[in-house]
Amino acid sequence: MVRAAVLPALGSPLEITDIELPEPGPGQVRVRLAAAGVCHSDLSLTNGTMRVPVPAVLGHEGAGTVLSVGAGVTHVAPGDGVVLNWAPSCGDCHACGLGEVWLCGNALTGAGAVYARRADGTDLHPGLNVAAFAQETVVAAGCVLPAPDGVPLADAALLGCAVLTGYGAVHHAARVREGETVAVLGVGGVGLAALQAARIAGAARVLAVDVSPEKEALARVAGATDYVVASDRTARDLRELTGGHGVDVAVECVGRAATIRAAWESTRRGGRTTVVGIGGKDQQVTFNALEIFHWGRTLSGCVYGNTDPARDVPVLAEHVRAGRLDLGLMVTDRIALEDIPTAFANMEAGKGGRALVTF
């Protein structure tokens, strides 16, 4: 029996309870969690913005130690440190054939499977494949990557989502170039990673935007050269800070219609607006035909940072070892499993960066 945070139904509060895990079958790995990050996507799963089969154990950003492996697993062994990959690519679908593994059509197939049971025998699903809000989990072999040397295992949990997403949004989706001006809207876990990524990319100015004035100091440590408290003037403020032209790149990490619109309006003529935040279907963003022609901007979505975790985690690890990427500064709260609901409430209120469950 292991302790886990179970979502019994969409819209219901999490329940901290005991669950029964099976031993890993062929192609599976059992992992003892060292840490799991609390991501906004987990909150979106609880409130129904994103849908998964329930009851489920949530948590998709984590790292830990391999306890045992099933037949056919050769890339990791008991005792190895691993980073969880919640979106493993199948290698066979149309997107994978194009090399766009972050759009794999089969990445979330495992989320519909039964992977464990509650003590009363109720079947449980693994949230976004990996069920990291638990002391231990059993996952498909494709959901684990060898943890990089020289990176503390608890901090390595952030590589599984926040850092891959924020770094990838800047380097792969927006393709920020040296000397450009970048705005990052939303200074949560992903936003803090995007700020650091913009600095690594050589951005001349990095403008951070958030509803909370208290986040300014943290944003500046991460790489922000300017800080704007979000309001209905956000786009105007960003344009004024750039001589009226607007930023070269705006990275939206919130997922709200108003913030996406502000990111678009703050981008210069011919600039790029990249949307990372996950919004609900009711969040409608509108544009008129003339402005699309006149501004010549590019608006693009971004899934998982447009990354290939097997390729990009080693790159991120090298940045960490070289001191260019600080995982520790992104963690504003280290919490217990029972504190996840409070972390969700803080997230909804716009407080803090990344909360990290440590086991």
CATH architecture of the domain 166-303 equals 3-Layer(aba) Sandwich (3.40)
pLDDT of residue 46: 82
What is the C-alpha separation between 264 and 266, in angstroms, rounded? 5
pLDDT of residue 201: 98
pLDDT of residue 128: 92
* Residue 92 in tokens: 């066979």
Per residue in 117-162, pLDDT (tens digit) is 998 999 999 999 999 999 999 999 999 999 999 999 999 999 999 9
CATH superfamily of 2-160+326-358: Medium-chain alcohol dehydrogenases, catalytic domain (3.90.180.10)
pLDDT of residue 177: 98
Query: Under 8 Å CB-to-CB from 91, ≥6 apart: which residues?
Result: 101
pLDDT of residue 350: 80
pLDDT of residue 145: 97
Give, in order, the Cα–Cα distances in Å from 150 to each of 63, 64, 144, 162, 321.
14, 15, 18, 19, 6
pLDDT of residue 48: 73
pLDDT of residue 10: 85
pLDDT of residue 132: 97
pLDDT of residue 231: 97
pLDDT of residue 254: 95
* Prior bond of 8 cis (ω within 30°): no
pTM (2 d.p.) = 0.95
Low-confidence residues in the chain, pLDDT < 50? none
Q: What are the extents of the domains in the chain?
A: 2-160+326-358, 166-303
146 and 136 Cβ atoms separated by less than 8 Å: no
Q: What is the DSSP string of 124-175?
A: EB-TTTT--SBSEEEEEGGGEEEPPTTS-HHHHGGGGTHHHHHHHIIIIIS-
pLDDT of residue 50: 77
